[in-house]
Amino acid sequence: MSSADKPVDPQLSQQVVDKKADAPMISGDQNSVEGTVTNGGIVIQGSGARVEIVQNFITQSSPSDSNNLAAPNALEEISIQYFEPETIYISSGAFWMGSEAGGEIPNHETPQHQVSLVAYRFGKYPVTNNQYEEFVNQTGRQVASSMGWNGQRVPSGKENYPVAGVTWYDALAYCQWLGERTERKYSLPNEAQWEKACRGENRNYYPWGNEFDPERCNHGRMDIAPVGAFPAQNEYGCFDLVGNIRQWTCTLWGEKRIAPDLKFAYPWTDDRRNDINASRQVRRVVRGSSMKDDIISLRCSFRSGQAPDDPGLPGARHGFRVVLSI
C-alpha cells in the first residue's frame, strides 16, 4: 500500500524501527503454546498448534484436536515471525451472507444472499495485548486510557487477553505496521471476510450451529476472557468470533448509526465500501459482540456501525483481527 492510499492519521507517520528481540518470548494462547526460546530451542507446554522455531520464526499448522474440524489442504502452513498473529486458511468460494427477513432481524441484515470470495487467511484469535504491545514499542503509538494498560505497558497477567478499547484507526495502524514489518499483505478484514470465517459455507445462526450454547463463548460474564479460553467456535477452528469483544472491520457503514444509507446496504457489492480513506464522520462496521451484549448479537450475521474514533463502552470494548491476503 502506498503512502497516498493511507488515511490521514498523525501517529501513522512515526518511524517504524525493525529490530529483533534479544530473547523472544513466545506467549501462546491457552489452547496453543506456551514456551521460551533459548539458543534456538523451545520448551513447549500445552496443546494445540504445532510450533517449530527456526531463527526466530514460527511454523504454524492447523491443530488436529477435537475442538477443530478438518481444515483445507492447500496453504495450511506458513512461517511467521514470533510477533505475528496466527492465521487460518479460508478457502475460496461462495457463502451465504446476511439474514432472512422476519422476527427481530433488522433490515440492514437483509436480504440473505450469496457472496463469492477468493481464498485468504484469517486471524485464528483476536489480536492480543502482547502482540499489540510489540507494535506500541516499535512505533510509539499512544495507548488510550480505554485500553486499561499501565501507561504503554500491558498489565501483568493480561498479555494473552485480546487488545480492547482501540479505535478503528488504532487497528488500521497496527495492520499497516504489521504488513510493513513482515512484507506481507495484512489488513483489517472486510465484513464479508469476517462473516465467511465466522459462518463457513452453511447458513448457521451461530458459528457452531443453530442453537445457542453458553459454553462456546464468553457471554453474560463480567469481564473479558483470555483468547482461546472457550472452544473453537466453527469448522475452520477460529476462536472468540462472538462474545468477549466487538471487532472492527474495514467496511463502511454509513453516516447514521441505526440505519446505513443505501449506498452500503445489502446485497454486498464491490462499491468502495471498504475505502480506508473515507471521512472520519463515516462509521465502520463492527462484527462480533462483547460479553455483555444481548444474545441476538452472537449471530454470525449481526452487524453494527460505530464511529472510527470510538473505542467502545466499558464492558463492550472494540478489538480486531487480521486478514492476510494470499
Rg (CA), the chain: 19
Percentage of the chain with pLDDT > 90?
Answer: 52
Query: What's the pLDDT at 185?
Result: 97
pLDDT higher at 132 or 38: 132
Using the predicted structure, report yes or no on whether residue 19 has a pLDDT greater than 70.
Answer: no
Kindly state the cell numbers that stand for 183: 512484507
Quote the pLDDT of residue 262: 54
Amino acid at 271: D
User: What is residue 289's predicted lDDT score, i.e. its pLDDT?
Assistant: 87
User: What mean pLDDT is predicted for residues 218-232?
Assistant: 90
Does 118 or 28 have the greater pLDDT score? Answer: 118
Task: Look up the pTM and report it.
Answer: 0.77
For the beta sheet containing 78-81, the strands, ordered from the edge strand earlier in sequence to the opposite edge, are 51-53, 57-60, 78-81
Which of 116-120, 147-151, 252-256 is predicted with the least confidence, judged by mean pLDDT?
252-256
Per-residue pLDDT tens digits for 47-60: 333 333 333 344 44
The average pLDDT across 282-310 equals 89
Mean residue pLDDT of the chain comes to: 79
Q: Residue 85 pLDDT > 90, yes or no?
A: yes
pLDDT tens column, 121-140: 999 999 999 999 999 999 99
What gap in Å lies between CA 302 and CA 285, rounded to an integer? 10
Cell of 148: 486499561
pLDDT at 291: 81
> Quick check: 188 pLDDT over 90?
yes
φ, ψ of residue 115 in degrees (nearest 5):
-130, 135
Q: How far apart are CA 131 and CA 133, in angstroms?
A: 5
More confident site: 151 or 74? 151
Strand partners, 67: none
147, amino acid identity: M
CB 42 within 8 A of CB 53: yes
Describe the strand order of the beta sheet including 312-313 as a list of residue ranges. 304-306, 283-288, 246-254, 316-319, 312-313
Mean pLDDT of the 91-114 span? 92
- pLDDT recorded at residue 266: 87
Helix intervals (H) in the chain? 129-139, 168-182, 191-199
- DSSP H or E segment with residue 159: none
Domains of the chain, CATH where assigned: 86-325 (3.90.1580.10)
Q: Read off the pLDDT of residues 236-245 as tens digits, 9 standing for 90 and up.
A: 999 999 999 9
pLDDT of residue 257: 60
> According to the per-residue pLDDT averaged within each range, which of 68-82, 151-165, 296-310 is highest?
151-165
What was the pLDDT predicted at 129?
Answer: 97
More confidently predicted of 175 and 105 = 175
Helix, strand, coil percent values for the chain (each to nearest 5): 20, 25, 60
**What is the average per-residue pLDDT within 141-169?**
95
What element of type H or E holds 287?
Answer: strand 283-288
258 pLDDT tier (thresholds 50, 70, 90): low
